[in-house]
Amino acid sequence: MGKLGISIYPERSTFEQDKAYLDLAHQYGFKRVFTSLLQIKGDKEQVLADFKKVVDYANSLDFEVMVDIAPSLFEQLNISYDDLSFFAEMGADGIRLDVGFTGSEEAKMTRNPYGLKIEINMSSGTSYVDNIMSYSPNTANLLGSHNFYPHRYTGLSYEHFLFCSEKFRKYNLNTMAFVNSHDATFGPWPTQDGLCTLEEHRNLELSTQVKHLMLTGLIDDITIGNAYASEAEIKAMSEAFFSEFPTVKVDVHEDITDDERICLFDSLHSYRGDRSAYVLRSTMTRIYYKDKPFPAHNTVAIKKGDVLIDNVGYGQYKGETQIALTEMENDGRVNVVGKIAADELFLLDYLKPWSSFKLIENN
């Protein structure tokens, strides 16, 4: 089972705020903390002491703490890759290499005596991971994580994300990607238009970003890149992540009947395997609710994303639930009862035949 994560930036916040945020995330089942130590300005000892205080508190709640570091920090703190005691003493569970070495160093680092995890950048699209693998790393201690992108329009395309993620999946390495809170106000750098991995996620609801990453089947852990997400966002993210089945939001039409509402929202839907290019069929509702009347209403022309229920005019199909995958004419035997919420319409492309899913009402 993957893990959910939050990010904290001690040098841009206070211990009290970070503590409250860790408590909140802990309450909703979050297990990972991402934090960065890319540069140390001012009093080195003070910065590190403040940093350790937050890490210790996160550890007390059983969070796994990964510290993002740049090669320049190794020099500034006089640390070498073959002695990671500094990070073990800090209480970190692992380090994320913002920029890597040559492959042999990373492999060696995975065999450190402290059991520290080494997390490497997944977003470059080079043969970096293949190179590390050729030096026989301890794969239990080798993790991958995508970057986040504070600048609008610089996030990864889905094609590149797929290409990079599959390189890591090939070796069964743990993978992580970042999602973006809309209530959060800061990250590690002054400028930020949100902190997501995929550009197409930048304006989407947090829970929708999570559903998408999960439906790709390529990402184990999901971390909110910016701080601080609201409790409502944390709760929605937790519900999406730990949900037994994927959920898709539906905007219902005003004249939906109580029976149709039961069909949509009280059933576990199963995408029929003998798929059609026109509709995604969930056929069991016609069996569960065969005694309900389903009179004809709102039998308008059908558009992609419309949620449909066959009415009494369709004989043995009465009560079957469908989602339109393309435009179709309506001969009066199909009730258009709602439509997939605009921001989740793209998720239809990720539902697989024979998979099960739930529809939820969009508030």
pLDDT tens, 219-266? 999 999 999 999 999 999 999 999 999 999 999 999 999 999 999 999
Any bridge partners for residue 176, and if so which? 145, 221
Q: Which residue, of 228, 243, 258, is where some domain finishes?
A: 243
Is residue 38 scored above 80 in pLDDT? no
Q: Verify that 56 and 194 share a domain, yes or no.
A: yes
Domain stops at, among 211, 243, 275: 243
DSSP class per residue in 27-69: HTT--EEEEEES---S-HHHHHHHHHHHHHHHHHTTPEEEEEE
Task: In whole angstroms, give the CA distance from residue 69 to residue 38.
Answer: 5
Residue 325, domain CATH: 2.40.100.10
124 and 82 co-located in one domain: yes
Number of separate domains in the chain: 2
Indicate if 228 and 282 belong to the same structural domain: no
Q: Which of 126, 360, 133, 362 is nearest to 247 (CA)?
A: 360
Same domain (yes/no): 132, 252: no
Among 78-92, 154-168, 247-261, 325-339, which stretch is predicted with the lowest mean pLDDT? 78-92
Between CA 81 and CA 109 the distance in angstroms is 7
Residue with tokens 């990972």: 32
In sign, the C-alpha dihedral spanning 103, 109, 115, 120 is negative
Q: How confident is the model at residue 78 (pLDDT cuts 50, 70, 90)?
A: confident
Do 230 and 181 fall within a single domain? yes
50 shares a domain with 197? yes
Indicate whether 56 and 189 sit together in one domain: yes
Q: Do residues 84 and 213 both lie within one domain?
A: yes
The average pLDDT across 166-180 equals 97
Decide: 179 and 213 in contact? Cβ < 8 Å: yes
Q: Pick the more confident residue, 204 or 1.
A: 204
Dihedral angle of Cα 68, 72, 73, 77, to the nearest 10 degrees: 160
Q: Which CATH number does the domain housing residue 131 bear?
A: 3.20.20.70
Of 76-90, 132-146, 149-163, minimum mean pLDDT range: 76-90
Rg (alpha carbons) of the chain, rounded to whole number: 24
Confidence grade of residue 90 (pLDDT, cut at 50, 70, 90):
very high
Which residue carries 């205080």 as its tokens? Answer: 53
Arithmetic mean of pLDDT over the chain: 95
**What is the residue range of 117's domain?**
4-243
- 169/218 same-domain check: yes
Q: Is a pLDDT exceeding 80 seen at residue 114?
A: yes
230 and 259 both lie in a single domain = no
Say yes or no: 256 and 237 in one domain: no
Which of 243, 271, 288 is where one domain is finished?
243
Tell me which residue has tokens 């890591």.
168
Same domain, 343 and 295: yes
- Report the distance separating Cα 294 and Cα 218, nearest Å: 41
Residues 41-69: pLDDT tens digits? 778 888 888 899 999 999 999 999 999 98
With cut-offs at 50, 70 and 90, classify the pLDDT of residue 71: confident
